Amino acid sequence: MEDRMRQEQASPAARKRVQDSFVLQDPTSHLGARITHIGTVLKPGRPLTVCRLDVYGVQADGSRKLVADGRQTLIRVARTAR
């Protein structure tokens, strides 16, 4: 069972290629100088609440760019007395 659990490690050359690729492409450059988020309740309710989530990258000049969004449904759970 130990053999199945062992993870393969990338060679140093493969690690260097991946690291260099990230440096060249700079995948986080589009996010901006910082990240901010806004959450909005779309439908409040007692059993269910529906929310919208927006994540923005904020550039140094203050301009914002939407980089991620999502919806979330929250359910109320009553705690039982112990």
Averages of pLDDT over each 10 residues, the chain, 82 residues: 54 79 61 82 93 88 88 89 74
Domain span holding position 45:
2-75
CA distance 61 to 59: 5
Is 80 inside a domain boundary? Answer: no
Is 6 inside a domain boundary? Answer: yes
Q: What is the pLDDT of residue 51?
A: 95
Q: What is the pLDDT of residue 70?
A: 94
Is 82 inside a domain boundary? Answer: no
Q: What is the pLDDT of residue 57?
A: 84
CB contact at 8 A, 64 and 80 = no
Q: What is the pLDDT of residue 1?
A: 44
The tally of domains found in the chain comes to 1
Tokens of 62: 């203050």
Q: What is the pLDDT of residue 73?
A: 95
Q: What is the pLDDT of residue 43?
A: 94
CB contact at 8 A, 55 and 35 = yes
Q: Which residue's entry shows tokens 């007692």?
A: 46
Q: What is the pLDDT of residue 24?
A: 56
Is 48 inside a domain boundary? Answer: yes
